[in-house]
Amino acid sequence: MTAWNTFYRQFIELEAYKNFLIGLKNTAIIAVFGLLIGLVVGCLLATCQILPKTNRFIKFLSRVADVYIAVFRGTPMVVQLLLIHFVIFPAAGINIDSVIEAVLIFGLNSGAYVSEIMRGGILSVDIGQTEAGRALGLTYGQTMMKIVLPQAVKNVVPTLGNEFIALLKETSVVSFIAVTDLTKAFKSIGDSTFEYIFPYLMLAATYLILVLLVTGLIKLIERRMRASDKR
């Protein structure tokens, strides 16, 4: 049990758990706020794409959204992180806390995925719902807000949960821009003791527990929203 003893000594007696807590906090912050920003950006992008293309401005917006989604979905998360942290932000003279920076970048990235999820959700709502709203004299906006979006959101909760889980796990690459997250916290324990078994097993277990918690939360939300369904 020497490997366990080494890990225990490093974690508790040499207070590596403090680093772990910081890592846990950062991982949680980046995942949660990243998703929130992603939701806002995603809804905006989906709106740009779904608006009836009646004039040039909306067509232009929809093109911009297309390009945005293509770029953010078409390049790896790590590459975006590196590019923005080491090239774009320095060139623009922006110098902010790395955690906030990570939140922003993950949010922008997630937005591209969320927008496709939302678009799919909106398109999955029967066109008859829109027609019934419009036939009563409601505006496009009122019909969207009161009828289509509530149903779309309900339809996409499982997929959004999926996106949140993916985002949570993908935060493990933020150490590339010197943010202490879970992965980095455990890796440094291993690096300083040269015993990797328990740090990495614990790392995996921590992610697994977080994901299980999120899964439970999503199920709860889903059950609440399904009140109007027979299924």
Partner 1 sequence: MISVKNIYKNFGPKGEIKVLKGASCEIQKGEQVVIIGPSGGGKSTFLRCMNLLEEPTYGEVWLEDSLLTPPDPYLHFDVIEASRTFGKMQAEHPERAKEDIIREIKEKDLLTSREGKAYKTLLRDIESQYREDINKARSRMGMVFQHFNLFNNLTVIQNLILAPVELKLLSKEEAEARAMSLLERIGLADKRDEYPSKLSGGQKQRVAIVRALVMNPEVILFDEPTSALDPEMVGEVLDLMKDLAKEGMTMVVVTHEMGFAREVADRVLFMADGVIAEEGTPKDIFENPQNPRLQQFLQKVL
- Cβ proximity to partner 1: between 35 and 156 the closer is 156
From 71, 135, 197, 213, residue interacting with partner 1 (rule: CB under 8 A)? 135
Judged by CB under 8 A, the residue of 132, 201, 213, 217 near partner 1 is 132
- What is residue 175's three-state secondary structure? helix
With binding defined as CB under 8 A, does residue 228 bind partner 1?
yes
What 8-state DSSP symbol labels residue 126? -
The answer to whether the beta carbons of residues 122 and 152 sit under 8 Å apart is: yes
Q: How far apart are the first and last CA of the chain?
A: 51
In angstroms, the Cα distances linking 217 to 33, 160, 187, 220 are 16, 12, 29, 5
62 binds partner 1 (CB under 8 A): no
Is residue 52 part of the contact set for partner 1 (CB under 8 A)? no
Quote the least distance from Cβ 21 to partner 1, whole Å. 42
Which of 1, 67, 91, 227 is close enough to bind partner 1 by CB under 8 A? 227
91 binds partner 1 (CB under 8 A): no
In eight-state DSSP terms, residue 46 is: H
Choices 83-91, 142-150, 162-170, 184-192 (CB under 8 A): range interacting with partner 1:
142-150
Minimum Å gap between C-beta 186 and partner 1 is 44
Contacts (Cβ under 8 Å, ≥6 apart) of 83:
none
Give me the residue label for tokens 């979905």: 73
- CB atoms inside a 10 Å sphere around CB 134: 14
User: Least distance (Å) from partner 1 to the CB of residue 133?
Assistant: 7
Binders of partner 1 among residues 146 to 165 (CB under 8 A) are: 146-147, 150-151, 154
Instruction: List CB contacts of 76: < 8 A, sequence separation 6 or more.
Output: none
What gap in Å lies between CA 195 and CA 152, rounded to an integer?
A: 49
Q: Closer to partner 1 by CB, 51 or 138: give it.
A: 138
Task: Indicate whether 19 belongs to the interface with partner 1 (CB under 8 A).
Answer: no
Q: Which residues bind partner 1 (CB under 8 A)?
A: 126, 128-129, 131-139, 142, 146-147, 150-151, 154, 227-230
